[in-house]
Structure 1
Amino acid sequence: MNIFQWLNDQLLRMQWLHDLVRLLVEEVFGLSMASRIGGSLHFFIYDVIKIFILLSVLIFGISWVQSYFPPERTRSILGNMRGVRANTMAALLGTVTPFCSCSSIPLFIGFTGAGLPLAVTFSFLISSPLVDLASVILLASIFNWPIAIAYVVVGLVLAVIGGTLIGRAGMERYVAEFVRQQRVGELPLEQLTLKDRLAFAREQVRDIVSRVWLYVLIGVGIGAFIHNWIPQSFVTALLGQDKWWSVIVATLIGVPMYADIFGTLPIAEALVGKGVGLGTVLAFMMAVTALSLPSLIMLRKVVEPPLLALFFVIVTGGIMLIGYVFNAFSHLLL
Structure 2
Amino acid sequence: MFDWIQNIADWFVYDVLDLSKGQHLAEALNFFIYDTTKILILLFVVIFFMGIVNSYFPIDKVKNYLSRNKLYGLEYLMASLFGVVTPFCSCSSVPLFIGFVRGGIPLGVTFSFLITSPLVNEVAIGLFVGLFGIKTTLIYVISGILLGTISGVILQKLKLEGFLTPWAKEVLENAQRDQDIFQAENQTFKQRLPIIWAEVIKILKGIIPYVIVGIAIGGLMHGYIPEGFFEKYMDKDNLFAVPIATILAVPMYSNASGILPVVQVLVAKGIPLGTAIAFMMGVVGLSLPEAMLLKKVMTLKLIAIFFAVVTLCIIISGYLFNLII
TM-score, normalisation: structure 2 = 0.93
Matched, 1:170 2:165: no
| Paired residue type of 1:23 | W
3-state DSSP of counterpart to 1:128: helix
Query: Cα–Cα, structure 1 residues 81 and 202, in superposed 2: closer, same or farther, change >3 Å?
Result: farther
Q: Tell me the CA shift for residue 301 of structure 1.
A: 2.3
Query: Cα–Cα, structure 1 residues 188 and 135, in superposed 2: closer, same or farther, change >3 Å?
Result: closer
> 1: CA distance between counterparts of 2:218 and 2:183?
46
Q: Tell me the CA shift for residue 148 of structure 1.
A: 0.3
| Paired residue type of 1:315 | V
> 1: CA distance between counterparts of 2:89 and 2:192?
20
2:279 aligns with 284
3-state DSSP of counterpart to 2:186: coil
> 1: CA distance between counterparts of 2:126 and 2:92?
23
1:41 aligns with 29
3-state DSSP of counterpart to 2:298: coil
What pairs with 1:103-252 in structure 2 (closer than 5 Å)? 103-182=92-171, 183=175, 184-186=178-180, 189-252=184-247
Q: Tell me the CA shift for residue 259 of structure 1.
A: 1.1
> 2: CA distance between counterparts of 1:236 and 1:188?
51
> 2: CA distance between counterparts of 1:265 and 1:108?
24
Query: Cα–Cα, structure 1 residues 158 and 210, in superposed 2: closer, same or farther, change >3 Å?
Result: same
> 1: CA distance between counterparts of 2:183 and 2:131?
42
Matched, 1:26 2:10: no
> 1: CA distance between counterparts of 2:166 and 2:94?
14
> 2: CA distance between counterparts of 1:222 and 1:17?
20
1:7 aligns with none
Out of 290, 296, 305, the residue aligned to residue 310 of structure 1 is 305
Whether the 8 Å CA contact 1:59–1:201 is kept in 2: the answer is: no
Out of 82, 86, 91, the residue aligned to residue 102 of structure 1 is 91
3-state DSSP of counterpart to 2:214: helix
The superposition leaves residues 136-159 of structure 1 with CA deviations (integer Å, 9 ceiling, x where unpaired) of: 122121111111000001101110
Q: Tell me the CA shift for residue 70 of structure 1.
A: 5.9
Whether the 8 Å CA contact 1:48–1:216 is kept in 2: the answer is: yes
> 2: CA distance between counterparts of 1:169 and 1:157?
18
Query: Cα–Cα, structure 1 residues 212 and 62, in superposed 2: closer, same or farther, change >3 Å?
Result: same
Q: Tell me the CA shift for residue 222 of structure 1.
A: 1.2
> Alpha carbon RMSD of aligned pairs, Å?
1.7
Q: Tell me the CA shift for residue 199 of structure 1.
A: 1.8
Whether the 8 Å CA contact 1:113–1:181 is kept in 2: the answer is: no
Whether the 8 Å CA contact 1:105–1:301 is kept in 2: the answer is: no
Q: Tell me the CA shift for residue 82 of structure 1.
A: 3.2
* Structure 2 unpaired stretches of 5+: none
> 1: CA distance between counterparts of 2:185 and 2:108?
28
2:252 aligns with 257
3-state DSSP of counterpart to 1:122: helix
Query: Cα–Cα, structure 1 residues 105 and 132, in superposed 2: closer, same or farther, change >3 Å?
Result: closer
Query: Cα–Cα, structure 1 residues 91 and 298, in superposed 2: closer, same or farther, change >3 Å?
Result: same
TM-score, normalisation: structure 1 = 0.90
1:4 aligns with none
Q: Tell me the CA shift for residue 134 of structure 1.
A: 2.7
| Paired residue type of 1:297 | M
Matched, 1:69 2:60: no
Displaced runs of 4 or more, over 4 A: none
Out of 26, 38, 42, the residue aligned to residue 50 of structure 1 is 38
Moved more, 162-171 or 69-78: 69-78
Q: Tell me the CA shift for residue 197 of structure 1.
A: 2.5
